[in-house]
């Protein structure tokens, strides 16, 4: 189902897509509408999440997460406070991150909404399909979206991913096994990959 560039999109991880399909067998149209649900009007709520990596910022509207900000980009003004009544999706995200960092969760099952171009959304969808404990090169992702010559553009879209960790851009590395860039810094990327049991080049 095509969309105009720049319109918001809900990305569901495999577990959530399967649950939605199981809940309404044969209703592919319903699942598709949820997949492409437009942004809901209203405030964006921020929740500070204290992780082993430092404070993360979880941002959500009433329906879905719209961003996960890493310590480098999470505004200092928000680092010391959390809303007294966070939307349920923020509480769910915090619980699932607890499980992820404790090694008890490998896939996230959360409603996610990311605003980007059609190309960026295709890249982010490919990122969401990289399994725990595995990596892909930028060239692999380019081939996965059917544009094998778009390696550089894939790298740019990877860097624009607003939902780090949840949409695992940290699992994309160089063709030679090098870590390459990461918005949160290479030390954080190395930590995440090591946490998932991936050996990376020094």
Q: Is the pLDDT of residue 102 over 60?
A: yes
- What are the pLDDT digits (tens) for 40-69? 456 888 899 999 999 999 999 988 999 999
Asked if 63 and 113 touch (Cβ cutoff 8 Å), the reply is yes
Q: What one-character-per-residue DSSP string does 14-46 give?
A: HHHHHHHHHHSTT-HHHHHHHHTPPPPSSPPEE
Q: What ranges do the domains of the chain cover? A: 118-195
Asked if 144 and 126 count as a contact pair (C-beta separation under 8 A), the reply is yes
2: tokens are 């095509």
Provide the pLDDT for residue 105: 96
Q: What is the pLDDT of residue 66?
A: 95
Catalytic amino acids? 169
CATH architecture assigned to 118-195: Orthogonal Bundle (1.10)
């Amino acid at each position: 189902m095509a969309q105009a560039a720049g319109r918001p999109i809900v990305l569901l991880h495999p577990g959530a897509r399967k649950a939605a399909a199981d809940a309404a067998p044969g209703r592919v149209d319903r699942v598709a509408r949820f997949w492409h649900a437009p942004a809901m009007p209203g405030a964006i709520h921020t929740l500070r999440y204290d992780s082993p990596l430092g404070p993360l910022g979880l941002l959500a509207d009433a329906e879905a997460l719209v961003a996960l900000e890493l310590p480098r980009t999470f505004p200092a003004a928000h680092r010391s406070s959390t809303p007294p009544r966070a939307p349920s999706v923020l509480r769910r995200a915090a619980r699932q991150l607890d499980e992820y960092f404790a090694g008890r969760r490998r896939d996230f099952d959360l409603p996610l909404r990311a605003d980007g171009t059609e190309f960026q959304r295709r890249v982010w969808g490919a990122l969401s399909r990289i399994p725990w404990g595995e990596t892909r090169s930028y060239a692999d992702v380019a081939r996965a979206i059917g544009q094998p010559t778009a390696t550089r553009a894939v790298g740019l879209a990877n860097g624009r991913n607003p939902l780090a960790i949840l949409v695992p851009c940290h699992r994309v590395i160089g063709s030679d096994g090098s870590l390459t860039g990461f918005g949160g810094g290479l030390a954080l990327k190395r930590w995440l990959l090591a946490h998932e049991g991936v050996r990376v080049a020094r």
